[in-house]
Structure 1
């Protein structure tokens, strides 16, 4: 069953890296990403922040527990001149290097750890993933700020800031 997301979409994707610098990548069984390497990704649900959504999506798709360490990109586009399609891309760190992959077989055909070079030269990666691999994201300095309140008048129940150093 297809969900009605309205005309403004907010998705998330996670670049999860292990201690060897390899990225956790997936092959979807559906959509325009069917059969190509892409990042674990999905839509933000009501009542969660974007960084909570990416942690949930990575866990649902791969079984890997991770922590968001920063925001590294934002993709924005318009589909058929009517739907605003937006995606926040987060850098994530594995919580347990020994945790095994548990593939979500309803959505995915494969999950692997690949190096930036393997992603960039494989020819089997999504356009966004190939571009990101060419940028060598591991060299960027990122940080997040938690525990700030922009003012009670806004009534945020969760509020986080992500910046490049």
Structure 2
């Protein structure tokens, strides 16, 4: 039976193999977070409208779209949510295993723009010193800001 399956696999080559793999495996959403810093080290935090009221403060976050490089997701999400322009830096977090979501986080550096909040998703945006972060900040985001592993 294994030989027959292997032979069929070689016969269907290319796009058909990809379709079979796509049908047989889980599909994931990729949540991407940006730890956006200014030259002085202060970090951009947003108060998210859709998040629980007791935990609304967090880093700029959004989902990657098909074909998008994850570092560019940070650039797009920050621009959409705040009007600011950032340059992505190092990958600082990668985790899978939460249902069908993969979590990715990058450092990012402010390079320009004026803060113009997208009021549909964001209630407010402010810069904070890493030594003076607000109440109601997502704990995993606090750890990312402090350079610690959110997985413990």
Is TM more than 0.5 here? yes
Give how far 1:31 is off. Answer: 3.2
TM-score, normalised with respect to structure 2? 0.73
Gaps of 5+ in 1: 1-5, 138-165
Indicate whether 1:109 and 2:129 are aligned.
no
* Cα distance between partner residues in 1 of 2:124 and 2:145: 19
Q: Which residue of 2 aligns with 1:62?
A: 82
CA-to-aligned-CA distance 1:36-89 (integer Å, 9 cap, x gap): 2101110000121111111100100011101111111124342xxxx2221110
TM-score, normalised with respect to structure 1? 0.67
SS in 2 for 1:60: helix
Indicate whether 1:23 and 2:43 are aligned.
yes
SS in 2 for 1:116: coil
Q: Which residue of 2 aligns with 1:49?
A: 69
Q: 2:100 aligns with which of 79, 84, 88?
A: 84
More helix by share: 2
* Cα distance between partner residues in 2 of 1:32 and 1:108: 13
Indicate whether 1:128 and 2:140 are aligned.
yes
SS in 2 for 1:95: strand
* Cα distance between partner residues in 1 of 2:80 and 2:125: 12
Q: CA RMSD in A?
A: 2.2
* Contact residue 29 and residue 35 of structure 1 kept, 8 A: no
Higher CA-based Rg: 2
* Cα distance between partner residues in 1 of 2:54 and 2:120: 13
* Contact residue 35 and residue 144 of structure 2 kept, 8 A: no
Structure 1, 47-56 or 29-38: larger mean CA deviation = 29-38
* Contact residue 77 and residue 86 of structure 1 kept, 8 A: yes
Gaps of 5+ in 2: 1-25
* Contact residue 69 and residue 90 of structure 1 kept, 8 A: yes
Indicate whether 1:37 and 2:77 are aligned.
no
